Structure 1
Amino acid sequence: MAVAKKKEPRSKFYELLQAQVHNEFNASQQYIALAVWFDNEDLPQLAKHFYKQSVEERNHALALVQYLMDTDHHVEIPGTGDVRNEFTNVTELVQLALDQEKEVATDIKTLAKAARAEDDYQGEQFMQWFLKEQIEEISSMDTLLKIVQRSNGNLFDVEAFLHRESVGDGGDDPTMPPVAGGTL
């Protein structure tokens, strides 16, 4: 019979890490909502981009889960928060994605600071990859927002750009920490 790990008081870093699991899963769900919106508007390249973003955020959540398990901490898989589904224009969707990535970057910085403040050198080192990743995520969404704005409403130009160019790393970073269950 398997013995469940008991919940022990955790440091601020581990409490924030557990909260970040929720944030990453919620970001994944929000990206699915954006992808579905684009799919419904017959914009396959934008839909594909955001479906990939959703998987990437899911992988980030499960990398945090794997780290919690590897460091012998209790893990709770949370539900997700509210997801926005109603939009009036494409700029609104991409702006939401950029704002979401900026919020995640703030959360990741807070995690890194908490690990450092607690002299948790392993936790601080673990967060370094996520700090680097947020630079790429913000840059990618900022680029996409600029392309959408420059298109002046011609979404076929945005579609052509995404078909032709690569925006972001697509989640294919070989330096990413291990993911519980493996990456998708």
Structure 2
Amino acid sequence: MTATAKKIQHKESKFEHLLQEQVRNEFTASHQYIAVAVWFDDNDLPQLARHFYRQALEERNHAMMIVQYLMDNNISPKIPAIEQVRNDFTETRELVALALEQEREVTREIETLAKTAREEGDYLGEQFMQWFLKEQVEEVSQMSTLLNVVDRAKGNLFDVENFLARETVGDEGADATAPKAAGGAL
């Protein structure tokens, strides 16, 4: 390449743009889970707090998986500011219902990413999104289960705490098929 030759500029695809947006969405979800966990912690519900602190780390890791994918594909990641999170809650069901709706929204976002990669013929991007699709089935399922348990407990939070202490809701351990997270998963 001669000194006068110009470097070809990479034009960001719609899929790449949506991936950059998803980094914000995942970090925002992480912070929302921290707010939920802190509320449970402040209300002396350690199992619920532990569950949501762990969820916060998982969402952070998802963001960092996307960051790593972008770097691996020579796309400069942008680390964005996050959206405002909710901190004012009154009862347990409200928090778990919020978490379930958040997971449903993330599922819609991941589906859009997978669809966009396919429409653009980005086979690597489509393959990358497959793990996230599988993950969202698990996330929605676990939050649905937790909401059912909260409803069945009819206000007895000791039953919910005992359930979480006894069961492995969302705590399946490390997934060997998970994409690598930039800086390593926490």
* TM bucket, shorter chain: over 0.9
Partner of 2:102: 100
- Rounded Cα–Cα distance in structure 1 between residues aligned with 2:88 and 2:175: 32
Output the amino acid matched with 1:10: E
1:14-41 deviation digits (Å, cap 9, x = unpaired): 0000000000000000000000000000
Q: Give the 3-state SS of the residue equivalent to 2:44 in structure 1.
A: coil
Output the amino acid matched with 2:68: Q
- Rounded Cα–Cα distance in structure 1 between residues aligned with 2:149 and 2:166: 13
Q: Give the 3-state SS of the residue equivalent to 1:75 in structure 2.
A: coil
* Contact 1:20 1:107 (8 Å CA) reproduced: yes
Output the amino acid matched with 2:85: V
* Correspondence for 2:14 among 1, 9, 12: 12
- Rounded Cα–Cα distance in structure 2 between residues aligned with 1:88 and 1:173: 35
Task: Structure 2: give runs of 5+ residues left out of the alignment.
Answer: 1-6
CA shift, 1:172, in A, is: 2.1
Partner of 1:182: 184
CA shift, 1:169, in A, is: 3.5
- Rounded Cα–Cα distance in structure 2 between residues aligned with 1:12 and 1:93: 33
Q: TM-score, normalised by structure 2?
A: 0.94
- Rounded Cα–Cα distance in structure 2 between residues aligned with 1:50 and 1:174: 22
Partner of 2:80: 78
1:133-166 deviation digits (Å, cap 9, x = unpaired): 0000000000000000000000000000000001
- Rounded Cα–Cα distance in structure 1 between residues aligned with 2:64 and 2:172: 17
CA shift, 1:53, in A, is: 0.1
- Rounded Cα–Cα distance in structure 1 between residues aligned with 2:171 and 2:12: 34
Task: Structure 1: give runs of 5+ residues left out of the alignment.
Answer: 1-5
* Correspondence for 2:133 among 131, 148, 151: 131
Q: TM-score, normalised by structure 1?
A: 0.95
- Rounded Cα–Cα distance in structure 2 between residues aligned with 1:77 and 1:116: 25
Residue 149, structure 1, aligned to residue 151, structure 2: yes
Count of residue pairs the alignment pairs up: 179
CA shift, 1:173, in A, is: 1.5
Output the amino acid matched with 1:96: L
What's the % identity of the aligned pairs? Answer: 64
- Rounded Cα–Cα distance in structure 1 between residues aligned with 2:163 and 2:86: 26
- Rounded Cα–Cα distance in structure 1 between residues aligned with 2:60 and 2:172: 13
Aligned counterparts, 1:114-125, within 5 A:
114-125=116-127
* Contact 1:52 1:170 (8 Å CA) reproduced: no
- Bigger CA radius of gyration: 2
Q: In angstroms, what is the RMSD of aligned CA positions?
A: 1.2
Partner of 2:37: 35
* Correspondence for 1:22 among 24, 35, 52: 24
- Rounded Cα–Cα distance in structure 2 between residues aligned with 1:95 and 1:156: 18
Residue 89, structure 1, aligned to residue 78, structure 2: no
Q: Give the 3-state SS of the residue equivalent to 1:87 in structure 2.
A: coil
